[in-house]
Amino acid sequence: MSTSNQSHEMSQHGSKASASTSEGKRKNQKTSRKAVYKRYNTLGQSSGSPALGHPQSGARKSLKDMTKAERRALQEQKVLEKQDRKAAGLPSSAKKASEQEAHRKVASPKIGSTANTPQSPAPDAEKQAKKQQKRLNEVPWLSHLDPPKKPNTASNTNKDLHPAVLALGLRFAEHKMVGSNARCVAMLMTFAKIIQDHKPPSDASFSRHIQKYLDPHIAYLLSVRPMSLSMRECIRWLKKEISEIVEEDPPLTDESARNRLVERIEYFIKERITVADRLIVENGMQKIQNGDVILTYAKSSVVEALLLEAKRSGYEFRVVVVDSRPMFEGKHLLRRLVSAGIDCTYVLLSSIYVVLKDVTKVILGAHALLNNGAVYSRIGTAMVAMAASDKQIPVMVCCETYKFVNRTQVDSLVLNEMGNPDELVVKKSNDENSSNSLTNWRDVPNLRLLNLHYDVTPSKHITLVVTEVGLIPCTSAPVIWREYNEEFRKGVQAK
């Protein structure tokens, strides 16, 4: 019994001794690290050599040559310096902090110097503040849409482009040419001129090089202003024609390929736009009667042609032109109709329900007819169609079949074109003292102006669509797009 107690006491004494030994070792290691840290800093201050934590000033030991205690001391020194930089308002990185300090020394003039030193450039903080303010003025849920751009007219970047494309892009960007038909015709005629003037390199044929040559011209037009859906359909058709010429066996000569492309473009403009508009006018005349009060919105070239033809045919009717800011396209239509002797009424979009009580039918234009039967047109069209549908007034849409697109869209947010928001600011040039709360709207935080160009009208608000192939329901759009395009392609090949 005594022997066991004695062995138990000896084991407890041994464990206490080992615990005290390990604790002493830890204290000795901590003391040694402090001593090494103090010794390196003392040597660095006395001899001018770099201390730990200052690797950029002079030579020092490499990490491989340092002991474990020295490396740990170096790491602790860097942590302390990083904390000091953060407390002083400097970047946590030593390199960035030194660059910022050097920039401050250069930017601040020396005391007592009388030389006229050039002013340093404005700090980046001002640019960042402007970007942040611009970001606050943007509508966040429409950031995927491209903002309006100014065309780049620099000769260095566009030196390889045809002058006709540069002139056309400038007219598109400045909205001197509006309307889907006018833009498509101008674009196709410009491409025809490019094809006529193009001379391929000696090591390539015309049919294989023209596609590569047209791509930067198309990209330029796309960069100055987003293309309408009908313009995209025209470009898709033109590329298909080029691919068919490439696949010709035996291959066509350069002159034959050039002439065929130009002829196809002229035939497309004639059959799908010019003749199609005449047929739409003839088909639309079936729905106009004496005593009608016809309401139309903004300006459509084919609707204008229909109303003028109805007046020449002896029909007596009245027209209500509904318009909206900022483009006021309806004023151009109003001028043409009044000069033709048509009785007209001009109102803004906000008065749509006031004038609907006398309206017998609504005739609208379209920029595109989507695959689900929805109409993609000038913004405000959906409001007019919905208001007329609410009053049980028939709504007719005049649209050429080349504007039928294989695309489905149920809202106006996924795809649209952003206009310049400054166009919404009313400027009273005749009254200089008048103040406008929107004049400096960009300087007001969280104030956003939205200027969209198009909207989508659901098919349930459209009574019928007047096309060159007849009067059809808008739900027949995918059938017409598939069948008529194939028939037109066969007609062109037979020609």
Candidates 90, 204, 205, 146; CA nearest to 416 is 146
> Which residue has better confidence, 233 or 125?
233
What's residue 103's pLDDT? 58
Candidates 116, 215, 233, 106; CA nearest to 160 is 215
Write the CA distances from 491 to 239, 267, 276, 431, integer angstroms. 18, 11, 15, 60
What's residue 76's pLDDT? 81
Determine whether 130 is exposed, middle or buried from the number of CB atoms within 10 Å of its CB (0-12, 13-18, 19+).
exposed
What's residue 435's pLDDT? 59
What's residue 72's pLDDT? 81
Q: Does residue 439 carry a pLDDT above 60?
A: yes
Q: Does residue 49 carry a pLDDT above 50?
A: no
For 356-392, the pLDDT digits (tens) are: 999 999 999 999 999 999 999 999 999 999 999 999 9
**How far is C-alpha 444 from the geometric centre of its chain's CA atoms?**
24
Model confidence at 111, pLDDT cuts 50, 70, 90, reads: very low
First to last CA, the chain: 123
Averaged pLDDT for residues 170-186: 92
Structure tokens of 274? 């010019």
Sign of the dihedral through C-alpha 463, 466, 472, 475: negative
Rounded Cα distance between 295 and 352, Å, is 10
Pairing of strands 368-369, 375-378: antiparallel
Highest mean pLDDT pick, 307-321, 429-443, 480-494: 307-321
Averaged pLDDT for residues 222-227: 91
For 243-263, the pLDDT digits (tens) are: 999 998 888 999 999 999 999
What's residue 142's pLDDT? 86
Candidates 178, 233, 488, 186; CA nearest to 369 is 233
Rounded Cα distance between 407 and 478, Å, is 9
Averaged pLDDT for residues 51-60: 46
What's residue 143's pLDDT? 83
Rounded Cα distance between 175 and 277, Å, is 23
Q: Does residue 191 carry a pLDDT above 70?
A: yes
What's residue 150's pLDDT? 76
Q: Which CATH class, in words, describes the domain spanning 163-277?
A: mainly alpha
Calculate what percentage of the chain has a pLDDT beyond 90.
Answer: 54
| DSSP-assigned letters across all residues of 424-470 | GS---TT-TT---TTTTGGGSTT-----B-EEEE-GGG--EEEETTE
What's residue 145's pLDDT? 87
What's residue 39's pLDDT? 47
Calculate what percentage of the chain has a pLDDT beyond 70.
Answer: 74
For 61-78, the pLDDT digits (tens) are: 677 677 877 888 888 888
Does 163-277 match 290-437+446-476 in CATH topology? Answer: no
Rounded Cα distance between 203 and 212, Å, is 14
Pairing of strands 464-467, 395-398: parallel
Q: Does residue 444 carry a pLDDT above 50?
A: yes
Q: Which of 205-209, 251-255, 429-433, 434-438 has the lowest mean pLDDT?
A: 429-433
What's residue 19's pLDDT? 47
**How far is C-alpha 311 from the geometric centre of its chain's CA atoms?**
42
Q: Does domain 290-437+446-476 have CATH number 3.40.50.10470?
A: yes
What's residue 118's pLDDT? 46
Output the average pLDDT for the chain: 82
What's residue 172's pLDDT? 93
Rounded Cα distance between 465 and 458, Å, is 13
Averaged pLDDT for residues 440-446: 80
Model confidence at 28, pLDDT cuts 50, 70, 90, reads: low
Cα angle 189, 195, 196; round to 5: 90
Q: Does residue 274 carry a pLDDT above 90?
A: yes
The strands making up 375-378's β-sheet, listed across from edge to edge, are 368-369, 375-378, 454-457
In the chain, where are the structural domains located?
23-87, 163-277, 290-437+446-476
Structure tokens of 105? 């020394």
Averaged pLDDT for residues 183-191: 97
Q: Does residue 479 carry a pLDDT above 70?
A: yes
Write the CA distances from 79 to 54, 75, 86, 226, 289, integer angstroms. 12, 6, 11, 53, 88
For 122-170, the pLDDT digits (tens) are: 556 666 665 555 666 778 888 888 888 777 766 667 888 999 999 999 9
